[in-house]
Amino acid sequence: MKRISKTIAIAIITALILGVSVFCMTACGEQPTNGFVYELSSEGDYYVVMSYAGKGESVSVPAEYNGKPVKEIAANAFSGNISLTSITVPNSVTAIGQGAFGGCSALRNIVLPFTGSSSNATGESAMFGYVFGQKMYADCVAVKQYYADKEFALYYLPASLVTAGIGTKISDRAFNNVTSLKEIYIGAEVKSIGADAFDGCDSLNVLYVESGSVSALATDEDACGGLFGKVGLIYLDAGISPGAYISSLGEPSDVNVNGKTWKLYGKAQTYRYECENATLSGWSPMTDATSGASGNAFISAGGGGSGKVIEFKVNSVSSTKVSLAICVGRHSSDVPFSEFLKLTVNGTAAITEDFTILSPGADFNWYNWQTYEVAEISLDEGENTISFETVGYLGMNVDYIELTAKTVLS
């Protein structure tokens, strides 16, 4: 009860500052605000989210409050919230003010009912960037969104943003030049994709489709402005039929993501994990990348020895089998490779080929990095730990590992 009272007190203080009428839950029987500050519309038939005073990192705007629908989000309502990593706005919302999510610098995922200010918006107010606004802040990226051939609006989006979902309407050119996006969710109520909606989305690789109408539009890789040909993986709601292009990708895999079953189509993707981003135990400081090594650094074998550990954290959206490869280079031309690494996945030893296969000719040296496929491993949905431990003398440098999978890894 004390925790509830504190939340309400914060909401009341915030609401009073904004001039919003807020009534005591105990006296009037109102449901908890959960950090949202509401204002009743002038007609008295729906609520507007004026601000958010909660502490949650993953937040869903409720579809209704006190028996009335929540239909609007005010301009700047979530502005400056540096804790939010994920926000979901329900399809019941019909209007979102400019800059409603401006300054949300940690935001990675956002789900909206439409792009822009409303489903009827046109021009610059129909752009995806509209809800992030035109004010700069720390850790943002400036995006020129062209809503006409020579007309654009400059919006500032969180640099961390990688996933966007739309529930009902995707306008023409809506995501123009949003290069940071990697994943798009298309909700069941979306009937079509606006012209050139994803033009310039060069990082886009994963598509989730719950709409039978949109799936039916997938006649070839150029469908929907090239959207289907742009992505490598297509997750299709298990209850809808695949369009002609989706069917052409071959038999799908059944996967479970966050408790929902999807049909997964597409080609396997390769993900690289650099050693400088791994957790190291017992190793000497890493060496700056030289001699063709990938990334910013590599692990130098040095004097070798047992018990040194390289640990990678890998998140998978579904349980899957993946192919594991490792990039290595000889520490010096006169030191042979040996049986050197014990591989475990989530604490269980993985069955692999004998690592002595990593024994190239004597002319192979640290200028000649080479990637070897060494195992097929199983990953669980969620976070996984892939660990290598040295056994005996290690005569090689290590640069990175690569995982090839028909799923999404991070």
- Looking up residue 397, the CATH number of its domain turns out to be 2.60.120.260
Taking residues 244-273, what's their average pLDDT? 92
Residue 88 CB burial class (10 angstroms; 0-12, 13-18, ≥19): middle
Indicate if the pLDDT at residue 380 is higher than 80: yes
What is the structure's pLDDT at 393? 61
Confidence of residue 340 (pLDDT cuts 50, 70, 90): low
Indicate if the pLDDT at residue 226 is higher than 50: yes
- Nearest Cα residue to 233 out of 212, 211, 255, 213: 255
Question: Where a domain ends, among 214, 245, 267?
Answer: 267
Taking residues 294-311, what's their average pLDDT? 80
3-state secondary structure of 152: strand
CB 294 within 8 A of CB 327: yes
Q: What is the CA radius of gyration of the chain?
A: 25
For residue 410, being part of any structural domain is answered with no
Whether residues 95 and 66 fall in one domain: no
Whether residues 251 and 203 fall in one domain: yes
Question: Where a domain ends, among 39, 74, 109?
Answer: 74
Domain that holds residue 233: 76-267
Confidence of residue 395 (pLDDT cuts 50, 70, 90): low
Taking residues 272-279, what's their average pLDDT? 94
For residue 394, being part of any structural domain is answered with yes
pLDDT digits (tens, 9 = 90+) for 117-130: 999 999 999 999 99
What is the structure's pLDDT at 351? 67
For residue 325, being part of any structural domain is answered with yes
Average pLDDT, the chain: 85
Indicate if the pLDDT at residue 6 is higher than 50: no
For residue 290, being part of any structural domain is answered with yes
Whether residues 185 and 314 fall in one domain: no
What is the structure's pLDDT at 298? 87
Taking residues 78-104, what's their average pLDDT? 97
Distance between CA atoms of 33 and 103, rounded to whole angstroms? 23
Whether residues 101 and 124 fall in one domain: yes
Give the residue, 330 or 269, on which the prediction is more confident: 269
Q: How many domains does the chain have?
A: 3
Question: Where a domain ends, among 13, 43, 74?
Answer: 74
For residue 321, being part of any structural domain is answered with yes
Confidence of residue 397 (pLDDT cuts 50, 70, 90): confident
What is the structure's pLDDT at 311? 96
What is the structure's pLDDT at 89? 98
Sign of the C-alpha dihedral, residues 156, 158, 163, 169? Answer: negative
- Percent of the chain residues topping a pLDDT of 70: 83
Taking residues 189-201, what's their average pLDDT? 95
What is the structure's pLDDT at 305? 72
Taking residues 299-303, what's their average pLDDT? 69
Whether residues 62 and 141 fall in one domain: no
Whether residues 401 and 332 fall in one domain: yes
Indicate if the pLDDT at residue 357 is higher than 50: no
What is the structure's pLDDT at 283? 82
Give the residue, 351 or 385, on which the prediction is more confident: 385
Taking residues 164-190, what's their average pLDDT? 96
Taking residues 351-357, what's their average pLDDT? 53
Structure tokens at 258: 């966050």
Indicate if the pLDDT at residue 21 is higher than 60: no
Taking residues 155-179, what's their average pLDDT? 97
Confidence of residue 337 (pLDDT cuts 50, 70, 90): low
Whether residues 241 and 134 fall in one domain: yes
Single-letter amino acid code for the residue at 311: E
Least confident of 69-78, 255-264, 347-356: 347-356
What is the structure's pLDDT at 235? 96
What is the structure's pLDDT at 332? 58
Beta strand 68-73 with 95-96 is parallel
Q: Tell me which range, 177-191, 276-290, 291-305, 373-387, is most confidently predicted by mean pLDDT.
A: 177-191
Whether residues 125 and 262 fall in one domain: yes
Rounded to the nearest angstrom, the gap between the alpha carbon of residue 314 and the centroid of all alpha carbons in its chain is 13
Taking residues 160-186, what's their average pLDDT? 96
CB 178 within 8 A of CB 158: no
Give the residue, 368 or 388, on which the prediction is more confident: 388
Confidence of residue 177 (pLDDT cuts 50, 70, 90): very high
Whether residues 237 and 281 fall in one domain: no
CB 176 within 8 A of CB 195: no
Locus of tokens 């129909």: 126
Whether residues 6 and 94 fall in one domain: no
Taking residues 365-375, what's their average pLDDT? 75
What is the structure's pLDDT at 30? 65
Give backbone dihedrals phi and psi of 15, rounded to 5 degrees, phi first.
-65, -40
**Residues recorded for the chain:** 410
- Give the Å distances, CA to CA, from 129 to 123, 146, 162, 174: 12, 11, 14, 8
Whether residues 94 and 53 fall in one domain: no
For residue 162, being part of any structural domain is answered with yes
Distance between CA atoms of 292 and 76, rounded to whole angstroms? 47
Whether residues 83 and 150 fall in one domain: yes
What is the structure's pLDDT at 161? 97
Indicate if the pLDDT at residue 95 is higher than 80: yes
For residue 252, being part of any structural domain is answered with yes
Taking residues 202-225, what's their average pLDDT? 95
Q: Cα torsion at 325, 329, 335, 340 (round to 10°)? A: -30
